[in-house]
């Protein structure tokens, strides 16, 4: 069904009334990049209990595109007009990810219309640098590789059923339909400090989070539950963000339980829970706010070198006067002495000359990270100590942490999942254009650790008869010049022999033979 609004744009919706006249109404709002059809997995389970209203947000599914000036409040106006058309005076609202934000915002604007809220995988209610990095990464992928590539990536993140081709195809097609510019508008609203934010909704709330949700994590949803007075919280096992796709029966049962539960019961909290709430609010006021006021320094070292200061790209002069080397060292050593810097970065230079040069290098480095007047500086240059001040994010630092975690993990399935994640993140050169001793040691640390994990992951795939899954690991390791290439060539030859892929078999056999000829006699 199509509902025409005063914006001269069609909104696709489906109204599924329940046979029982006393049944409550449930309005279902999908997430950004998706569409209302993803609710179909739970619709048959809820239809006997509720009247259901599903609709495609403007720019999604079968609804028409939104103008460039469209805002989240315009989406809410669309929703209100749709409710008016159908004569819905009060309903429960369920939203997934960004749809959860819209549902909560609508509850603030129209409290008499919203009876209760069900928020599935809601974006974190407080600033998280990891969330900012994830959203920026989505925008970058959409811009550089297109929406099909973003859709494929999001399928892997949104559902544990991403290995099913039909599910993966539906998600990819939904993101392609949304388009890069439309999706970017949603993301920018979240990243915008003046954009939508979470406040306690003042309504009964059911918070649902998938066990494997990487962004809207159970821990983040748990903090929201602790801060809100009238909420229930459940972690859905064996599910990611699209938990109603991954575990429809489990999800529908909890929705039905929440819809039947009297509102007053949610207001009664045990004394211990109230004390936890007070302590958590105190911690957030005293610690999180000052921390989030510090400058945000984001540094990419994998595949390309890029520096952003409070989201703004710092493009110039990183290859001049050892600025890149200083930055990388200080990321891993946020406070360092002048002599330490000279010894670790310029060991071949005579000490007194290195100390004189360092003054010039630091002056140039400080200008690159200069903040507006009145703002805390990112770089503190003191007599004996050089310090970075602020929230520092570095993909290389995170990668090394996860690399070690993969090495320390003994459960094969968990270890392999970590290896898959590491494989996706390691693309291109490591700290390109940096050749000081410390950067070279970091590069060697990544290459050596990755070489070992690639051999393990390839053997895991070969033993599980997933030969083609092993190839990307082996080929990735060979890009980084392993100390011994032959074990990688041997495994590639084995897997292509098993698969009967003669062309690839000849290619890797030639490479192995060439490597054997290079060996000293």
The 10s digit of each residue's pLDDT in 232-275 is 899 999 999 999 999 999 999 999 999 988 776 665 566 666 67
Segment of 131-135, 370-374, 494-498 carrying the highest mean pLDDT: 494-498
* Tokens representing residue 203 in the block: 């309504």
Burial of 243 by CB count in 10 Å (0-12 exposed, 13-18 middle, 19+ buried)?
A: buried
pLDDT at 194: 46
pLDDT of residue 268: 55
The pLDDT tens digits of the residues spanning 9-28 come to: 588 999 999 988 889 999 99
At 266 the pLDDT is 63
Question: Which residues are 55's β-sheet partners?
Answer: 13, 29
Mean pLDDT of the residues in the chain: 87
Distances (CA, A) of 252 to 40, 42, 49, 122: 12, 6, 10, 18
Query: Which residues have C-beta within 8 Å of that of residue 165, sequence separation ≥ 6?
Result: none
Q: Which CATH topology does 2-128+195-288 take?
A: Rossmann fold (3.40.50)
DSSP 8-state assignment for residue 215: S
Sheet (strand 312-313) strand order: 312-313, 306-309, 296-300, 391-394
DSSP 8-state symbol, 409: -
Which range of 77-81, 91-95, 310-314 scores highest in mean pLDDT? It is: 91-95
Measured from the Cβ of residue 487, the count of other Cβ atoms closer than 10 Å reads 16
Q: How confident is the model at residue 44 (pLDDT cuts 50, 70, 90)?
A: very high
Which tokens is 125 given?
């209610």
User: Are the C-beta atoms of 176 and 169 separated by less than 8 Å?
Assistant: no
Residues 6+ apart with CB under 8 A from 182: 59, 60, 65, 66
Helices (H), ranges, 116-197:
129-145, 147-158, 165-178, 180-191
Helix axes 147-158, 180-191, angle to 10 degrees: 50
Categorize the per-residue pLDDT at 215 as very low, low, confident or very high, splitting at 50, 70 and 90.
confident
Cβ distance 188 to 97 under 8 Å? no
Spatial separation of the C-alpha atoms in residues 387 and 382, rounded to whole Å? 8
Q: What is the DSSP string of 342-353?
A: HHHH-TTS-HHH
The three-class DSSP label of residue 93 is strand
**Domain topology for 296-394:** Arc Repressor Mutant, subunit A (1.10.10)
**pLDDT attached to residue 271:** 63
Spatial distance between the Cα atoms of 396 and 403, rounded to a whole number of angstroms? 10
Across 303-454, where does the E strand assignment appear?
Answer: 306-309, 312-313, 335-337, 379-381, 385-388, 391-394
Q: How many Å separate Cα 502 from the centre of its chain? A: 39
Q: Token pair for residue 367?
A: 């200008």
CB 508 within 8 A of CB 489: yes
Q: How far apart are CA 239 and CA 439, in angstroms?
A: 39
**Residue 408: pLDDT over 80:** yes
Identify the CA nearest to 259 among candidates 117, 84, 104, 55: 117
**Token pair 């749709």 is at which residue?**
82
**Phi first, then psi: what are they for 55, rounded to 5°?**
-150, 155
List the beta bridge partners of residue 15.
53
- The average pLDDT across 317-345 equals 91
pTM of the model: 0.60
Instruction: Categorize the per-residue pLDDT at 230 as very low, low, confident or very high, splitting at 50, 70 and 90.
Output: confident
Q: Which of 123, 94, 7, 16 is nearest to 58 (CA)?
A: 7
């Amino acid at each position: 069904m199509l509902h025409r609004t005063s914006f001269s744009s069609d909104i696709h919706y489906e109204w599924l009334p329940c046979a029982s006249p006393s049944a409550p109404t449930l309005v279902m709002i999908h997430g950004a990049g998706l569409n209302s059809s993803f609710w179909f997995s739970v619709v048959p389970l809820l239809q006997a209990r509720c009247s259901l209203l599903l609709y495609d947000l403007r720019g999604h599914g079968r609804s028409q595109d939104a103008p460039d000036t469209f805002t989240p409040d315009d989406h809410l106006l669309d929703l209100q007009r749709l409710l008016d058309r159908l004569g819905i005076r009060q309903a429960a609202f369920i939203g997934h990810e960004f749809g959860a934000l819209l549902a909560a915002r609508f509850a603030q604007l129209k409290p008499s219309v919203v009876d209760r809220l069900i928020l599935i995988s809601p974006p974190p209610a407080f600033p998280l640098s990891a969330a900012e990095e994830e959203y920026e990464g989505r925008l970058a992928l959409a811009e550089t590789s297109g929406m099909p590539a973003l859709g494929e990536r999001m399928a892997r993140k949104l559902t544990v059923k991403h290995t099913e081709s039909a599910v993966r195809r539906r998600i990819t097609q939904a993101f392609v339909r949304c388009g890069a510019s439309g999706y970017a508008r949603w993301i920018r609203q979240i990243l915008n400090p003046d954009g939508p934010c979470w406040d306690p909704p003042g309504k009964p709330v059911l918070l649902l989070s998938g066990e494997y949700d990487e962004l809207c994590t159970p821990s983040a949803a748990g903090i929201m539950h602790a801060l809100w007075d009238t909420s229930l919280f459940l972690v859905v096992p064996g599910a990611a963000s699209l938990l109603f796709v991954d575990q429809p029966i489990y999800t529908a049962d909890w929705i039905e339980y929440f819809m039947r539960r009297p509102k007053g019961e949610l207001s009664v909290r045990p004394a211990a829970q109230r004390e936890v709430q007070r302590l958590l609010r105190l911690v957030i006021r005293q610690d999180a706010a000052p921390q989030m006021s510090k400058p945000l320094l984001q540094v990419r070292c994998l595949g390309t070198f890029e520096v952003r200061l409070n989201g703004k790209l710092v493009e110039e002069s990183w290859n001049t006067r050892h600025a890149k080397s200083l930055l990388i060292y200080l990321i891993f050593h946020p406070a360092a002495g002048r002599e330490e810097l000279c010894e670790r970065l310029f060991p071949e230079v005579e000490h007194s000359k290195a100390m004189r040069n360092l003054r010039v290098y630091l002056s140039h480095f400080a200008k690159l990270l200069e903040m507006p007047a009145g703002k805390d500086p990112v770089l503190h240059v003191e007599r004996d100590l050089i310090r970075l001040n602020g929230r520092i994010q570095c993909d290389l630092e995170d990668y090394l942490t996860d690399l070690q975690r993969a090495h320390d993990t003994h459960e094969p399935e968990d270890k392999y999942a970590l290896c898959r994640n590491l494989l996706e993140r390691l693309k291109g050169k490591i700290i390109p254009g940096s050749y000081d001793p410390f950067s070279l040691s970091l590069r060697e640390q990544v290459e050596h650790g990755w070489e070992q994990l690639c051999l393990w992951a390839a053997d895991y795939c070969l033993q599980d008869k997933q030969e083609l899954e092993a190839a990307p690991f082996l080929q990735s390791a060979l890009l980084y010049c392993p100390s011994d290439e032959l074990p990688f060539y041997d495994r590639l030859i084995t897997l292509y022999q098993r698969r009967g892929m003669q062309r690839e078999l000849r290619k890797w056999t030639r490479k192995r033979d060439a490597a054997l000829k290079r060996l000293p006699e």
